[in-house]
Amino acid sequence: MNAIISASELADALRSDRPPVLLDVRWQLSTAAAKGEPFDGRSAYAAGHIPGAVFVDLDRELASAPGPRGRHPLPDLEVFGAAMRRAGVSAGTPVVAYDGGIGWAAARAWWLLRWTGHPDVRVLDGGLPVWEGPLETAAPEPAEGDFVPEPGASGVLDADGAAALARSGVLLDARAGERYRGEVEPIDPVGGHIPGALSAPASDTVDADGRFRPAAELRVRFGELGVTPDAPVGVYCGSGVSAAHEVLALEVAGIPAALYVGSWSEWSSDPARPVAVGPDPQ
């Protein structure tokens, strides 16, 4: 099953006998919290959302509190499960997640649901900006779902696993190139990248409208980075959000990949871990 859905396909699905549960996961990375008001996804949701969608808070429901494991560590599964059930998610119901268009937050919801065992979840390709149907401001009250998250045995990396994969397989860094090279670092204590990781900005996987590039084009892009059918692949970013979007892009291309959830925010918090700078992976 395709991991993404177009706006027209979503409109058809919502009119069907088995409409999907809709998750509105609008969120933005704020690199300058002290320089103005941070983005408020809940207010954006209240101003207008796809009819039937339930707001999901990435910072509180798709992640635990920031700490030694990074800015967006794995959520407490009880909190995550309760949020999904509140939204009406059941094991047998399809789910579609969307955000404001960049795709990162919706991909985080997609990855968590997939990793914890949901068999039918997709992301609206292009997010809310591509939706041409009506919007509503009233918050729905869906029937309680029955989804109970059960984490998979694979698909997730810790710091040691990411370091090992950089040597034995392909570890992709989904951040902007200048952060990978260590030229700038607006958030974390030190710039640079995990030694052996390859620069693969998540922004390169989408077109100017925020939609994913065709699967064949993505396969070529990842192939140029050394991704082969027999090579294990992992992805990290700053805190495990844009990396989830790159894992989704790899899924669109037919390539399974693991996510280092702690990502650079966890890696760089330990001064004992090595840091590489510049364009050379090592």
- Quote the pTM value: 0.95
pLDDT score of 37 more than 50: yes
pLDDT score of 34 more than 50: no
Q: How far is CA 129 from CA 43, 64, 119, 124, 274, in A?
A: 17, 29, 26, 10, 41
Task: Give CA–CA dist 129/19, Å, rounded.
Answer: 21
Phi, psi of 215 (to 5 degrees): -55, -40
Using 50, 70 and 90 to split pLDDT, how confident is the model at 229? confident
The pLDDT of residue 38 is 79
The pLDDT of residue 36 is 59
Task: Give CA–CA dist 170/244, Å, rounded.
Answer: 16
User: Is 237 designated active site?
Assistant: yes
Q: What's the average model confidence in pLDDT over 27-46?
A: 75
Q: Mean pLDDT for the chain?
A: 95
pLDDT score of 31 more than 80: no
Q: What's the average model confidence in pLDDT over 77-95?
A: 97
Please tell me which residue in 62, 237, 253, 261 is annotated as part of the active site: 237
Q: What's the average model confidence in pLDDT over 245-271?
A: 97
pLDDT score of 39 more than 90: no
Using 50, 70 and 90 to split pLDDT, how confident is the model at 35? low
Q: What is the pLDDT of residues 167-220, one digit of tens each?
A: 999 999 999 999 999 999 999 989 999 999 999 999 999 999 999 999 999 999
Nearest alpha carbon to residue 238 among 282, 183, 175: 175
